[in-house]
Structure 1
Amino acid sequence: MSAPWILLRGLTRESRHWGAFAPLLEKRCGAVLPVDLPGNGTLVHVRSPLAVEDYVDAVRAEVQRLGARAPYKVLAMSLGGMVATAWAQRYPEEVAQLVLINTSMRPYSRFYERLRPAAWPALLRAAWHWRAHGEDVIAEAAIHGRTCARRDTLAADLAAWRAIRASAPVSRANAVRQLAAAARYTARGVPCCPTLVLSSQADQLVDPVCSARLARAWGAARREHPWAGHDLPHDDPQWLVEAVCAAFAASDAEAASRSLGAG
């Protein structure tokens, strides 16, 4: 059996926020296993750690609990990308392929590139209305405006996101702790596995230069979407699936050939 794709989302987002992307990836590229970070989704009642390394421990434990066996392919965005990077660096034998989407980390990015100043007012608005009764739509609309370039699905997106929030509300304290963990994380070393770095040209939350510097420093493959926002899986899931499958087609074919030969 081929390695499953472990999917990790970012700040305050969970597995259901992958939307149409997860089933598309599974159809094209094999088994998919979305995993929530502590404090989000199925783990909403867990206290979010302040260190990215602690998220790695939690994700590894959850993946093992769900019965998946290493090596894994890991696709992650934003904070999830930092967790995936730390995982690949600490346990290189467990991560066979790595895809990072619109992520950023020290020492490759400056603080005002990792969180664009123009996005601060919208994020403050979301924080102010985070748990206010009946005002969840304001928070989700503020997030949508800064993370999504597509507006044709706005009404449906807000309805879905509000339903997710109602069933698994992330606490303001956990949101702050996740933000602190992201801000503090510093990458050490270069992942040994094949790595694809993806960014969105119209990202209004994280400057695409963060991905460009990261790919250059690591010698990793990189592609940039021409119009999508920060939430690339939302804006153009089909493009993302094609980019991932194309990037690893050769290595997957080689692995399949070795497996057949061993059999």
Structure 2
Amino acid sequence: MSAWILLRGLTRESRHWADFPDHLRAAGIEERIVSADLPGSGRWFRERSPSGIAATTDFVRDRLTNEGYAPPYRIIALSLGAMVAVDWAQRFPGEVERIVLINTSLARLSTPFERLRPSAWPMIARVLGRWHSRRAAEAVVHRLTCHRTDSFDTDLTAWTAIYESAPPTRANALRQLYAAARFRGPSAALQCPVLILASRADALVHCACSSKLAAAWGATLIAHPWAGHDLPHDDPVWLAETIAAWVGNALAVAAPPTGA
């Protein structure tokens, strides 16, 4: 049975998915769900983040193998994590059954100003400048990536605790930014089914990046009308149900008719 691998973005880790895996199960995803951490984050916060996406992919693959997981995988990935998913499916197509890409971009298809919106630059600089004043830094991250504010104080407390227990370094954050900026992605569409999800109100990555990617690959694109960059935070129920419906439809199309 395939496992779903969840991959987060820049300096985020498996605990930042919060209760999203529970929503996936409630939506009908029955396979095992594994939240994997990138090098430099989460369980691997003491590791040096690679300056390239391919090395990050290799790290994640090796750790999953060492932990006893085996392909084929289904991957749900956000932002930087989605670049890892694309690289993985491109270089090891036999290992990836399908992928869901959330608010990501490729240098091959989008401009630098689309991939990292200029209005976000001052806030990113503020986060880097307040790196060790963590609650203040997390408040800036929240304003930049989330549109749901009803859980603001609870989120800041949880995110600050996550940082204090496994603190990613500012140097690793810069290396991850560098790796993301350099990632061009494949020139041809991936061999596996791809669902591309975009937040129309993403203040970090312009949703045009997802539109261009879907057009280039002939992939399914679904846009959320009001969520920010952190779609799993802002509307986890919609996200889980959208993914489950896409998987169900794909399997229904692939299955032979009854009595065939």
TM bucket normalised to smaller: over 0.9
Letter in 2 for 1:186: R
For residues 243 and 190 of structure 1, the distance between their equivalents in structure 2, rounded to whole angstroms, comes to 22
For residues 231 and 21 of structure 1, the distance between their equivalents in structure 2, rounded to whole angstroms, comes to 12
- 2:11 aligns to what? 12
For residues 42 and 35 of structure 1, the distance between their equivalents in structure 2, rounded to whole angstroms, comes to 9
Shift of 1:23: 1.9
Letter in 2 for 1:242: E
Shift of 1:253: 4.6
For residues 254 and 68 of structure 2, the distance between their equivalents in structure 1, rounded to whole angstroms, comes to 22
Per-residue deviation, residues 201-225 of structure 1 (Å, max 9, x unmatched): 1100000000000000000001000
- 2:136 aligns to what? 138
Instruction: Give the percent of matched residue pairs that are identical in Structure 1 and Structure 2.
Output: 50
Q: Within the alignment, does 1:39 sit opposite 2:40 as a pair?
A: yes
- 2:216 aligns to what? 217
- 2:244 aligns to what? 245
- 1:190 aligns to what? 189
Shift of 1:252: 3.2
Residues 81-120 of structure 1 aligned to structure 2 (within 5 Å):
81-120=82-121
For residues 231 and 106 of structure 1, the distance between their equivalents in structure 2, rounded to whole angstroms, comes to 21
Per-residue deviation, residues 101-154 of structure 1 (Å, max 9, x unmatched): 0001111110011111101111111100102xxx21110001000000001010
1:166 to 161, 164, 167: 164
Shift of 1:257: 7.3
For the structure 1 residues 161 and 256, does the alpha-carbon distance in structure 2 shift closer, same or farther, using more than 3 Å as the test? Answer: farther
Q: Secondary structure at the match of 1:138?
A: helix
For residues 223 and 212 of structure 2, the distance between their equivalents in structure 1, rounded to whole angstroms, comes to 13
- 2:226 aligns to what? 227
Letter in 2 for 1:72: Y
For the structure 1 residues 158 and 245, does the alpha-carbon distance in structure 2 shift closer, same or farther, using more than 3 Å as the test? Answer: same
Q: Secondary structure at the match of 1:29?
A: coil
The answer for unaligned runs of 5 or more in structure 1 is none
Per-residue deviation, residues 30-57 of structure 1 (Å, max 9, x unmatched): 2210100000000000000001000110
For residues 64 and 256 of structure 2, the distance between their equivalents in structure 1, rounded to whole angstroms, comes to 27
Letter in 1 for 2:161: A
Q: Secondary structure at the match of 1:106?
A: coil
For the structure 1 residues 225 and 172, does the alpha-carbon distance in structure 2 shift closer, same or farther, using more than 3 Å as the test? Answer: same
For residues 26 and 182 of structure 1, the distance between their equivalents in structure 2, rounded to whole angstroms, comes to 30
For residues 239 and 178 of structure 2, the distance between their equivalents in structure 1, rounded to whole angstroms, comes to 28
For residues 25 and 55 of structure 1, the distance between their equivalents in structure 2, rounded to whole angstroms, comes to 25
Letter in 2 for 1:29: I
Shift of 1:255: 6.8
If the length of structure 2 is used for normalisation, what is the TM-score?
Answer: 0.95
Per-residue deviation, residues 136-195 of structure 1 (Å, max 9, x unmatched): 111000100000000101000000000000001000110000000000011123210000
Q: Which runs of 4+ in 1 moved over 6 A?
A: 254-258
Q: Secondary structure at the match of 1:84?
A: helix
Is contact 1:20–1:234 with CA below 8 Å preserved after alignment? no
Letter in 1 for 2:163: R
- 2:68 aligns to what? 67
Letter in 1 for 2:113: Y
For residues 81 and 257 of structure 1, the distance between their equivalents in structure 2, rounded to whole angstroms, comes to 31
For residues 198 and 175 of structure 1, the distance between their equivalents in structure 2, rounded to whole angstroms, comes to 24
- 1:29 aligns to what? 29
For the structure 1 residues 252 and 62, does the alpha-carbon distance in structure 2 shift closer, same or farther, using more than 3 Å as the test? Answer: farther
1:156 to 154, 169, 179: 154
For residues 247 and 23 of structure 1, the distance between their equivalents in structure 2, rounded to whole angstroms, comes to 18
Shift of 1:24: 1.4
Is contact 1:126–1:139 with CA below 8 Å preserved after alignment? yes
